Amino acid sequence: NIRIRHGKDTTRGNDKESATMISADALDNQPVTTSGSYGATAGDDKTNGKSEEGTYQDGNGGGEYASIDGSVRYGSGRRNKKIVAAIVLLAIVAGVVGFYQFRNCDEGNSGTNSSAPKSTTPTADSAAQAAAIADSDLPMSKTGKLKLFDSTNRFVMEDYDARSTFSSFLPGVAGFFGKPVWAFYVNRGQGISTFGTESKDFPLLEFNPANKAYQLTPFIGFRSFIRGTRVAEDNDSALSAAESTSFDVEPFSPRRSRNLDDPEDDPSKPKRVLYVGTNEMEIQEIDGVNGVSTSVQYIILPEEDFGSLVRRTKIQNIGSTPLELSVLDGLAKIEPAGGPLEGMLKSMGRTLEGWFGVYQVDPKSLTMPFYKMSTEPSDAAKVKIEEHGHYCLSFLETPDKASTLLPIVYDTNKVFGHD
């Protein structure tokens, strides 16, 4: 049982109305009010010249809780009838206005309405994207929707980076004599959010809890940058202006993620799919606008006496003309070996950079970098030289000749600048 009234703003000494105030007072002609804030203050009642203390329960003297008598009558019958009549009148007016607007929309007269929905006419980009999806090898059902499992019994999640966030561990299947890697992935960016050896104290990619991993993985995790140029066939003299354009694109970037809650979301954005197997995780992006399909697969290196994460990136030309590519692909940030680093990376990560070092097996090729600290950072008089290290190797798979190691760009400033 509550009363609602407007009272005088006693805090500023003027007669303007304060915020609506609610009181649980049971009196009929002497309602007790509170100020617009969530505190109990004194209210000024002009109707009877009295000022009473604004409390939750008034009249019990000791401030203890007292139940409100439900038989108390609030106001006169005439006043209640006027309020009911006003409410009924407002309801009738609102119904008439709503019916009028609905009739105008139904008759198709909403052309002058600024809030009318945009045209849904398919564009050339959306048509190209739809054609690329139709020609892909996605596990489609007879109804045109993606199946929950593909032909190898892997779980399939469509538009994974637009779904509700989730996280999981990459299965550490390394064989009978192998050593598993401690890896953690999320459905954002390119999946892997952290990995390392033994535990989160020995990371190659810094550990972050799930709520931070959802935000950071697309930026400090694995990333791919592709520059493509359409070229003419050997028997063609030239391409059209539309076909000869170059493009720069970052697959799996959050800037091109779908928004499933927006009915006007751009249908020309790439289609992204996540596959989860018993010992692997794979993501795929189909970009029909640029004619490129990119897939990234993660597994644990089996049957070796050291732990290693294997990442395989596949870029396929799904366009109608030949394509030349320049690709920069890999981990955006890697931590060196130097003892248990989890706590120090969180509290003094900038200071630790003074111990960081990258050593090359062959300084001329820059294909085998070795990441380690000069010494293990610790608050002790004894200095321990760090001998262990982290490594990464990259090579291009070709069907017609032996694979060769690719050079590694280990300085992030060369890629992202000093920001």
Task: Name the amino acid, one letter, at 210.
Answer: A
* pLDDT of 257 over the 80 cut: yes
Residue for token pair 């008089």? 381
Burial 108-123 (b: 16+ CB within 10 A, else e): eeeeeeeeeeeeeeee
Distance CA 352, CA 344 (A): 8
Q: Which amino acid is at 341?
A: L
Percent of the chain with pLDDT over 70: 68
Distance CA 407, CA 70 (A): 82
The answer on pLDDT for 329 being more than 90 is yes
Higher pLDDT, 189 or 93: 189
Looking at residue 129, its pLDDT comes to: 83
Q: What is the mean pLDDT of residues 407-414?
A: 89
Higher pLDDT, 113 or 270: 270
Question: Above 60 in pLDDT, residue 158?
Answer: yes
28 pLDDT band, cuts 50/70/90, is: very low
- CA gap 314, 193 in Å, rounded: 20
The string of pLDDT tens digits covering residues 82-112 is 665 666 566 665 665 555 555 554 444 444 4
pLDDT at 7 over 50: no
Strand partners for 316: 293
Band of pLDDT at residue 280, cut at 50, 70 and 90: very high
**C-alpha to C-alpha distance for 64 and 42, rounded to whole angstroms:** 19
Residue 183: beta bridge partners? 195
Beta carbons of 309 and 300 less than 8 angstroms apart: yes
Which pLDDT band holds residue 173 (cuts at 50, 70, 90)? confident
Alpha helices in 21-120 (DSSP H): 77-106
Spell out the residues 6+ positions from residue 320 whose beta carbon is closer than 8 angstroms to its own: 291
pLDDT mean over 358-374: 89
pLDDT at residue 272 above 50?
Answer: yes
Q: Looking at residue 324, what is its pLDDT? A: 92
Query: What's the confidence (pLDDT) of residue 298?
Result: 96
Instruction: Please tell me the least confidently modeled range out of 128-142, 278-292, 297-311, 388-402.
Output: 128-142
**pLDDT(63) > 70:** no
**Could you give the CA distance from residue 29 to residue 76 in angstroms, rounded to a whole number?**
11
Q: Which of 50-64, 215-229, 283-297 has the lowest mean pLDDT?
A: 50-64
Handedness of CA 103, 106, 110, 113 (dihedral sign): positive
Q: State the Cα–Cα distance between residues 213 and 192, nearest whole angstrom.
A: 9
Q: Does residue 312 register a pLDDT over 60?
A: yes
Average pLDDT over residues 386-395: 90
| pLDDT at 238 > cutoff 60 | no
As a whole number, the mean pLDDT across the chain is 76
DSSP type of residue 337: B
User: Does residue 211 sit in helix, strand or coil?
Assistant: helix
Write out the DSSP string of 345-402.
HHHHHHHHTTTEEEEESSTTT--SEEEEESB---SSSS--B----EE---B---SSS-
The single-letter DSSP state of residue 14 is S
Range scoring the smallest mean pLDDT among 42-46, 74-78, 157-161: 42-46
**Burial (CB count within 10 angstroms: exposed 0-12, middle 13-18, buried 19+), residue 36:** middle
Mean pLDDT score, 39-57: 41
What per-residue confidence (pLDDT) applies to 103?
53
In the chain, the percentage of residues whose pLDDT exceeds 90 is 36
Place of tokens 């992204």: 272
